[in-house]
Structure 1
Amino acid sequence: EAGAELARVFRRNQVDILVHLAFISHPVHDTEYAHELQVIGTLHLLNAASAARLGKVVLLGDSKSYGARPDNPNFLDEQQPLRGVPHSPLVADLVEVEQQFERFATRHPDTVCTVLRMGNILSHEVDGFIPRLLRSALVPTVLGYDPLMQFLHHEDAFQAIRLAVEGDFPGAFNITSDGLLALSTAIRLGGRLTLPLPYCLWQRAGSVMWAFQTLEVPPSLVDYLRFQFVADGQRAQQLMGFRPTMNSKQTLADFYRSSGPAAEASWATTG
Structure 2
Amino acid sequence: MAKQRQKILVTGARRPVAQRLIRMLHRHSKVVAVDRRTPKHLPVDVRCEAVDLRRRALDHLFRRHRFDAIIHAGTLTNLRAGESLHHAYNVVAVNRLLKLAVKKGVSKVIILSSAELYGHRPANTVFLSEDAPLLAGERFAAWRDLVQMDLAGCVTAWREPATEVVVARPVNVVGSGIESMAMRYLGRPRVPVVMGFDPQVQLIHIEDFCSAIQALLAPGVRGAVNIAGPPPVRISQALTFLGRKRVPIPRTALTLALKSAWPMRATGFREEELDLIQYSCIVSDAHLREATGFRPAYTLKDTLRGVDETY
The residue correspondences of 1:234-245 to structure 2 (distance < 5 A) are: 234-245=286-297
State which drifts further: 127-136 or 67-76.
Answer: 127-136
| Cα 1:47–1:241 shift into 2, 3 Å | same
Q: Hey, what does 1:247 align to over in structure 2?
A: 299
Counterpart code for 1:120: N
Equivalent in 153, 158, 166 of residue 114 of structure 1: 166
> How far does residue 172 in structure 1 lie from its aligned partner after superposition?
1.5
Equivalent in 62, 78, 99 of residue 10 of structure 1: 62
Aligned residues: 258
Equivalent in 67, 80, 85 of residue 29 of structure 1: 80
Task: Give yes or no for contact 2:190–2:247 (8 Å, CA) kept in 1.
Answer: yes
Task: Give yes or no for contact 1:150–1:248 (8 Å, CA) kept in 2.
Answer: no
Q: Hey, what does 2:45 align to over in structure 1?
A: none
> How far does residue 123 in structure 1 lie from its aligned partner after superposition?
1.2
Counterpart code for 1:51: K
Percent of counterpart pairs with the same letter?
27
Name the TM-score, length of structure 1 as normaliser: 0.88
Task: Give yes or no for contact 2:54–2:89 (8 Å, CA) kept in 1.
Answer: no
Name the TM-score, length of structure 2 as normaliser: 0.77
Q: Write the deviation string for residues 11-61 of structure 1: whole angstroms up to 9, x where unpaired.
A: 421112111111245x42123333332223212212322332322111112
**Moved segments of 4+, more than 6 Å:** none
Matching of residue 223 in structure 1 with residue 251 in structure 2: no
Q: 3-state SS of the aligned residue for 1:246? A: coil
Q: 3-state SS of the aligned residue for 1:211? A: coil
Q: Hey, what does 1:186 align to over in structure 2?
A: 238
Q: Hey, what does 2:49 align to over in structure 1?
A: none
The residue correspondences of 1:1-271 to structure 2 (distance < 5 A) are: 2=54, 5-25=57-77, 27-32=78-83, 33-256=85-308, 258-259=309-310
Q: Hey, what does 1:267 align to over in structure 2?
A: none
**Distance (whole Å) between structure 1 residues aligned to residue 137 and residue 240 of structure 2:** 27
**Distance (whole Å) between structure 1 residues aligned to residue 106 and residue 225 of structure 2:** 21
**Distance (whole Å) between structure 2 residues aligned to residue 20 and residue 186 of structure 1:** 31
> How far does residue 141 in structure 1 lie from its aligned partner after superposition?
1.4
Task: Give yes or no for contact 1:122–1:151 (8 Å, CA) kept in 2.
Answer: yes
| Cα 1:231–1:181 shift into 2, 3 Å | same
| Cα 1:186–1:233 shift into 2, 3 Å | same
Q: 3-state SS of the aligned residue for 1:163? A: helix
Task: Give yes or no for contact 2:225–2:287 (8 Å, CA) kept in 1.
Answer: yes
Q: 3-state SS of the aligned residue for 1:100? A: helix
> How far does residue 120 in structure 1 lie from its aligned partner after superposition?
1.0
Q: 3-state SS of the aligned residue for 2:204? A: strand
Q: Write the deviation string for residues 128-181 of structure 1: whole angstroms up to 9, x where unpaired.
A: 222111111111111111101111010111001111113331121111112121
> How far does residue 227 in structure 1 lie from its aligned partner after superposition?
0.6
| Cα 1:206–1:2 shift into 2, 3 Å | closer
| Cα 1:254–1:129 shift into 2, 3 Å | closer
> How far does residue 215 in structure 1 lie from its aligned partner after superposition?
1.2
**Distance (whole Å) between structure 2 residues aligned to residue 250 and residue 133 of structure 1:** 18
Task: Give yes or no for contact 1:86–1:220 (8 Å, CA) kept in 2.
Answer: no
| Cα 1:180–1:216 shift into 2, 3 Å | same
Counterpart code for 1:142: V
**Distance (whole Å) between structure 2 residues aligned to residue 253 and residue 21 of structure 1:** 24
| Cα 1:246–1:136 shift into 2, 3 Å | same
- Point out where structure 2 has 5 or more consecutive residues left out of the alignment: 1-52
Q: Write the deviation string for residues 176-230 of structure 1: whole angstroms up to 9, x where unpaired.
A: 1121211011112111112222111222221121122111110111101011011
